[in-house]
């Protein structure tokens, strides 16, 4: 293939470990305080193999550790991607580099707000580019391969690290340092991006996403504030009451087991519902659904299905840009 026949991929850099250069090859932990950051152009220059895969156009959106990614950055990134894809009908897709701490949240936001079926592949690294055995370069190449492959289209935003392609909806970070940290629980990953250069899928996500999404954020300047309240043995209602007093627009409860929590905590959630604040019950256990049980329905809660509390928060934030009707918000929780 000649260069002008290669698929065109837009590469958006946001920072994260994948961009950090440490002082030594054995620094796997202190680099984000002591190291310097590569630009997305420098990161791409480390991977000349990408030139055989795609015409890659890099752009730095922000350059921060992902603990410093805020909802305003999600809006900027989603709007920039939508703008670029609509401006370039011939583009193959988009790759995004990101810190791993909040990668799954940004990816799910893009899954719900990029209104285009072309691939969006989000990647990061667990070992900085300066470290022995870094996964930075390979993950970047994989994201470019996935973004350039027609096989990846129509599957929503995708996450790739460790050669495993995951759905943005289901994936979560499960380990603080291992390169296989991103897992999708019972759902499993969708496919592989292996060293033969093939992008191989076995499944496509069923829930609504991207081109089938109702969440157009082109005119949205700020997302409604939604916070998560975490339950545990003996938790009282102090945090939930404080959230209501602070004026949050929605609350996600990270409940115990099947979603229930101590009566002290549940009483505070009932007070929030009575104050007109949508309350979503999710579970902190990692896999499995929260059901529309008689109690949850009678007490006016919305249930998160099997969405992780952090994902339910994002969906509630987006839902609240369109409606505050609990029945509509419940529909969204069950459709996306």
Q: Which residues bind ligand ASP (CB under 6 A)?
A: 16-17, 32, 65-67, 99-101, 124, 126
Q: Do 144 and 124 touch, CB atoms closer than 8 A?
A: no
Of the pair 104, 116, the CB lying nearest ligand ASP is at 104
Q: How far is the CB of 143 from ligand ASP (least distance, A)?
A: 14
Q: How far is the CB of 125 from ligand ASP (least distance, A)?
A: 6
Give the list of residues 6+ apart from residue 145 with CB closer than 8 angstroms, or none. Answer: 53, 54, 193, 197, 199
What is the helix, strand, coil percentage profile of the chain, to 5?
Answer: 35, 20, 45
At 183, list the tokens: 């897992």
Q: How far apart are CA 38 and CA 42, in angstroms?
A: 6
At 210, list the tokens: 């991207």
| Residue numbers annotated as active site | 17
Q: How far apart are CA 244 and CA 289, in angstroms?
A: 26
Q: How far is the CB of 71 from ligand ASP (least distance, A)?
A: 16
Within 13 Å, how many C-alpha atoms sit on residue 284's CB side?
12
Q: Do 65 and 16 touch, CB atoms closer than 8 A?
A: yes
Q: How far apart are CA 316 and CA 4, in angstroms?
A: 43
Of the pair 67, 211, the CB lying nearest ligand ASP is at 67
Q: How far apart are CA 46 and CA 67, in angstroms?
A: 25
Of the pair 160, 231, the CB lying nearest ligand ASP is at 160
Of the pair 55, 68, the CB lying nearest ligand ASP is at 68
226-230 and 55-64 strand pairing = unpaired
Q: How far is the CB of 126 from ligand ASP (least distance, A)?
A: 6
Of the pair 14, 213, the CB lying nearest ligand ASP is at 14
Chain residue whose CB lies nearest ligand ASP: 99
Q: How far is the CB of 66 from ligand ASP (least distance, A)?
A: 3
């Amino acid at each position: 293939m000649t260069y002008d026949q290669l698929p065109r991929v837009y590469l958006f850099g946001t920072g994260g470990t994948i961009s950090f250069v440490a002082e030594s090859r054995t620094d796997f932990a202190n680099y984000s305080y002591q190291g310097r950051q590569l630009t997305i152009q420098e990161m791409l220059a480390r991977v000349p193999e990408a030139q055989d895969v795609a015409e890659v156009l890099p752009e730095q959106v922000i350059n921060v550790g992902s603990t410093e990614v805020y909802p305003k950055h999600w809006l900027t990134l989603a709007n920039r991607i939508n703008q670029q894809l609509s401006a370039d009908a011939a583009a193959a897709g988009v790759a995004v580099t990101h810190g791993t701490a909040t990668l799954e949240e940004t990816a799910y936001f893009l899954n719900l707000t990029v209104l285009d079926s072309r691939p969006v592949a989000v990647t990061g690294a667990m070992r900085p580019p300066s470290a022995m055995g870094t996964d930075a370069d390979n993950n970047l190449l994989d994201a470019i391969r996935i973004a350039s492959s027609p096989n990846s289209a129509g599957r929503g935003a995708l996450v790739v690290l460790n050669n495993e392609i995951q759905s943005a909806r289901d994936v979560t970070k499960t380990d603080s340092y291992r390169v296989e940290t991103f897992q999708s629980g019972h759902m499993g990953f969708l496919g592989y991006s292996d060293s033969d250069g093939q992008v191989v899928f076995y499944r496509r996500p069923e829930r609504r996403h991207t081109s089938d999404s109702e969440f157009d954020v082109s005119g949205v300047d700020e997302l409604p504030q939604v916070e998560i309240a975490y339950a545990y043995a003996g938790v009282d209602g102090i945090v939930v009451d404080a959230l209501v007093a602070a004026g949050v627009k929605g609350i996600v409860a990270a409940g115990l087991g099947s979603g229930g929590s101590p009566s002290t905590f549940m009483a505070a959630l009932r007070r929030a519902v009575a104050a007109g604040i949508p309350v979503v019950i999710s579970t902190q256990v990692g896999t499995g659904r929260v059901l529309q049980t008689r109690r949850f329905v009678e007490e006016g809660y919305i249930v998160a299905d099997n969405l992780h509390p952090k994902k339910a928060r994002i969906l509630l934030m987006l839902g609240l840009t369109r409606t505050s009707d609990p029945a509509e918000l419940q529909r969204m929780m069950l459709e996306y």
